[in-house]
Amino acid sequence: MINILLGSMKIVASILVLQAGVRMFVTELQQSFQGISEKLVSGSVVAVDVAATYGFSMNSVTYGFASGTIAQFVAVGILIGISKGTNGNFPIVIPLFITLFFNSGSIGVFANASGGYKASIIVPAIFGFLEIFIIAFGIFALKSHAVAINSADSLPFRTGFLGMFDW
């Protein structure tokens, strides 16, 4: 029981540190860009990442992250069942922290602005669930198509690697 409580507090502290770090980074980036834009490119506007919206609704980021995480792991559990039913022929997608935090948390902010805290829980969960299933079905379709063309085991579609180098 103590370990569960301590683990929960570590997760909450980690999310708060991540949010504070992103907020500080975006603020510093905006200030330094103002200096550059005055001297080099006059009239330019700062473009920031979606993480700049986190400060407008701190709780909805946490709600979105938590509900999106739970939904993605439920989807992975369902994919494991489907894979066992097809004799291991169906791909199992592993959720990435980038999609868990940035997609679900950001959707939570905008859902909260449109529909309140219930929407900031429900909408990221639906998106996270669909995200895992769409990726899995896409990999399955590409794998089936690639096997029909070339049966080499080194094809990226057979391993699930999609060429994403940003992580």
Convert the pLDDT of each residue in 84-138 to its tens digit: 888 877 888 888 888 888 888 889 999 999 999 999 999 999 999 999 999 888 8
Q: Are residues 92 and 132 in the same domain?
A: yes
Q: Do 73 and 113 touch, CB atoms closer than 8 A?
A: no
CA nearest to 103, candidates 128, 84, 85: 128
User: Residue 6, SS3?
Assistant: helix
Q: Are residues 70 and 43 in the same domain?
A: no
40-87 residue pLDDT tens: 777 777 777 787 787 788 788 889 989 999 999 999 999 999 988 888
Q: Are residues 32 and 106 in the same domain?
A: no
Is 139 domain-assigned? yes
Out of 6-10, 31-35, 91-95, 118-122, which region has the weakest mean confidence (pLDDT)?
Answer: 31-35
User: Residue 90, SS3?
Assistant: coil
Q: Do 106 and 156 touch, CB atoms closer than 8 A?
A: no
Q: Are residues 104 and 63 in the same domain?
A: yes
Q: Which domain holds residue 29?
A: 1-48
The pTM of this model reads 0.70
- pLDDT of residue 21 exceeding 60, the answer is yes
User: Residue 107, SS3?
Assistant: helix
